Amino acid sequence: MKFAAVDVRQAASAADIVYEALRKAIIEGDLAEGENLRQDQIAQMFNISRIPVREALSRLEQHGLITTQRYKGAVVAGLSIEEIEEIFEFRALIEAEVIRLAVPNLDREALEKARRHCDAFDRETDPHRWGEINRNFHYSLYEASRRPYYLQNVRSSLDRIDRYLRAQLSFTNGVPRAGREHEAILAACEQGDADLASRLTRDHILDAGRSLMTFLREQRG
């Protein structure tokens, strides 16, 4: 018997849907840090019971996106300046290595894809989309590293600080600079210079971290 190849991914469970929705809302900054997350309220929003909501919240807590206290509930986790600095330092280390490993494997297709995301980033005017496109650009290069575990950690660390990064990109004029740095990274990749791409990626992340720090220090006083 012949049949079309169908993506038979298991339909997402309710807990999966809630988890993804809350994760997205947190990393995009739609849920402010410190905001209360009531199980019942979330359950009603999705028209489900609290059971899958609890499961979703438990997962979010494992990833450090929320904190929970018995009888008190969950709140969106806030990060101190020191914690944010540490995560940027970590990202610089990991992502510099990931792109170093990726460069030898980058083919024409991957480079073209990265080019499209790079251009899209420069053209985009909606602040809410910068974060997404920024991820797409970096991931399109990182994927060639063929290191799923590294990528999982890249994603996890970026998830934690993405909302701050997005806020900074929106409130300051960090976008043109990020765009230029993207161009330089992509050029190094196109020339097959792994060391240069690695150094530029590291600097790109540390620069963004420093900008964010000054932004936050002044915002938080």
Partner DNA sequence: CATAGAAAAATTGGATCCAATATACAATCG
Partner DNA sequence: CGATTGTATATTGGATCCAATTTTTCTATG
Interface ranges with its own copies (CB under 8 A): 10, 13, 15, 51, 54-55, 58-59, 62-64, 69-70, 83, 86-87, 89-90, 93-94, 97, 147-150, 152-153, 157
Q: Are 186 and 115 in contact (CB under 8 A)?
A: yes
Q: Are 171 and 73 in contact (CB under 8 A)?
A: no
Give min distance, CB of 172 to DNA, in A: 35
Angle at the Cα of 142 from the Cα atoms of 81 and 185, rounded to 5 degrees: 80
Q: Binds 177, which of its own copies, DNA, none (CB < 5 to 8 A, cut-off by type)?
A: none
Q: Binds 87, which of DNA, its own copies, none (CB < 5 to 8 A, cut-off by type)?
A: its own copies
Site for DNA in 7-36 (CB under 7 A): 13-15
Q: Binders of DNA: how many residues, by CB under 7 A? A: 22
Give min distance, CB of 3 to DNA, in A: 16
Give min distance, CB of 89 to its own copies, in A: 8
Measured from the CB atom, the residue of 51 and 81 that comes closer to its own copies is 51
The span from the CA of 140 to the CA of 133, in Å, is: 10
Query: CB within 8 A of 145, min separation 6: which ones?
Result: 98, 99, 101, 102, 105, 151
Nearest to 202 by CA among 213, 214, 210: 210
The span from the CA of 79 to the CA of 64, in Å, is: 10
Q: Are 165 and 208 in contact (CB under 8 A)?
A: yes
Measured from the CB atom, the residue of 98 and 200 that comes closer to its own copies is 98
Give min distance, CB of 85 to its own copies, in A: 10
Give min distance, CB of 45 to DNA, in A: 12
Structure tokens, 36: 């209360």
Q: Which residues in this chain contact DNA in the complex, by CB under 7 A? A: 13-15, 37-40, 47-52, 54-55, 57, 68, 70-74
